[in-house]
A and B are shown apart, each in its own frame.
Chain A
Amino acid sequence: MSRVEGLKCVLGDDTYRKIRNAKVLLVGAGGIGCELLKDLILLGYSEVHVVDLDTIDLSNLNRQFLFRHKDIKQPKASTAVNAVQSFNFFKTKLVPYQASIYETDLFPMSWFEQFDLIFNALDNIQARSYINKVALLLNKTVMESGTTGTNGQAQPTFPYHTECYDCLHRETPKTFPVCTIRSTPSQPVHCIHWAKSFLFTSLFSEDDEPVVQPEGKDTGELGTDNQQEIANLISENNELVELKRSIASEDFVDKVIAKVFTKDIENLLKISDLWKTRKQPTPLEYNNQIKEKVLKISKEEIGTGQREWTLEQNLKVFIDSTLALQKRIAIEKEIEFDKDDEDTLNFVASATNIRSHIFSIPLKAKFDIKSIAGNIIPAIATTNAIIAGFSALLSLKQFDESYENRIQNSKAVFTVSNSDKFVSPSMLQSPNPKCATCSAVRGVAHFDTSKTLNDLLGALQSTYGLDEEISLSLGSNLLYDIDFDDNVEKTLKEMGIVDGVLLNVADETDKYQSVKGGDLKLPDIKMAEKPPVEEKEENDQDDEEDGVELINDNDDDLLIVDVKEATSPDKRKAKAQDYDDTHVTKKPKTDSEIEIVE
Chain B
Amino acid sequence: MSSLLKNRLQEERKQWRKDHPYGFFAKPEKSADGSLNLQSWTAGVPGKDNTIWENATYPLTITFPNDFPSKPPKVRLPAGFYHPNVYPSGTICLSILNEDQDWRPGINLKQILLGVQELLDTPNPDSPAQEPAWRAFGKDRALYEKKVIEQAKKYAKAG
A216 contacts which chain B residues (CB < 8 A)?
Answer: 79, 87-89
Contacts of B5 in A (CB 8 A): 476
| B-contact 0/1 string along A215-244, CB 8 Å cutoff | 111110111011001101110010000000
**Bound state CA distance, A487 and B31, in angstroms?**
12
B90 at the A interface (CB under 8 A): yes
Residue A124 CB within 8 A of the other chain = no
Verify A271–B33 contact, CB threshold 8 A: no
A558 on the B face (CB < 8 A): yes
How far does the alpha carbon of A496 sit from the alpha carbon of B34 in the complex, in Å? 10
A273 touches B79 (CB 8 A): no
Instruction: Tell me if B98 and A177 are in contact (CB < 8 A).
Output: yes
How many Å from the CB of B155 to the closest CB on chain A? 10
Q: Is chain A's binding surface mostly helix, strand, loop or mixed?
A: loop
Chain B residues, Cβ within 8 Å of A342: none
Interface centre among A179, A219, A234, A506 (most CB of B within 10 A): A179
B80 engages A223 (CB within 8 Å): yes
Contact of A487 among B4, B17, B34 (CB under 8 A): B34
Name the interface size band of chain B: 35 or more
Query: A218 contacts which chain B residues (CB < 8 A)?
Result: 79, 89-90
Least CB distance from B85 to A in Å reads 10
Find out whether the CB atom of A473 lies under 8 angstroms from the CB atom of B10: yes
A215 proximity list for chain B (CB < 8 A): 87-89, 91, 129
Given contacts A179-B93, A473-B6, whether A271 and B131 have CB atoms under 8 Å apart is yes
Residues on B with beta carbons closer than 8 Å to the beta carbon of A176: 99-100
Instruction: Give residues of chain A (155-214) contacting chain B, Cβ–Cβ below 8 Å.
Output: 166, 171-172, 175-180, 213
Q: How far is the CB of A150 from chain B (nearest CB, A)?
A: 27
Interface: A484 (CB within 8 A) = yes
Cβ–Cβ contact B35 & A230, under 8 A: no
- Asked if A481 meets B14 with Cβ closer than 8 Å, knowing A172-B71, A215-B87, the reply is yes
B38 touches A273 (CB 8 A): no
Contact with A along B74-92 (1 / 0, CB 8 A): 1000111010000111110
- Closest-CB distance, A483 to chain B (whole angstroms): 5
Q: Which residues of the other chain, A, contact B36 by a CB distance below 8 angstroms?
A: 477-479, 484
22 A-B pairs with CB atoms under 8 Å apart are A129-B2, A175-B71, A175-B99, A221-B90, A223-B80, A230-B88, A233-B132, A234-B88, A271-B131, A271-B134, A273-B125, A436-B3, A476-B9, A476-B38, A477-B31, A477-B37, A478-B38, A483-B17, A490-B34, A495-B35, A506-B14, A556-B7
* Nearest 3 pairs of A and B residues by beta carbon: A215-B87, A436-B3, A478-B36
Besides A226-B147, A234-B88, A478-B38, 20 more A-B contacts (Cβ < 8 Å) are: A178-B87, A213-B74, A215-B87, A215-B88, A215-B129, A216-B87, A221-B80, A229-B82, A234-B80, A271-B131, A273-B125, A436-B4, A436-B7, A437-B2, A474-B35, A476-B64, A477-B31, A477-B36, A483-B17, A581-B1
Binding site for B on A (CB under 8 A): 129, 166, 171-172, 175-180, 213, 215-219, 221-223, 225-226, 229-230, 232-234, 237, 271, 273-274, 436-437, 471, 473-479, 481-484, 486-487, 490, 494-496, 504, 506, 508, 553, 556, 558, 579-581
Q: Give B contacts to A, CB under 8 Å.
A: 1-7, 9-11, 13-14, 17, 28, 31, 33-39, 64, 67, 70-71, 74, 78-80, 82, 87-91, 93, 98-101, 125-132, 134, 147, 150-151, 154
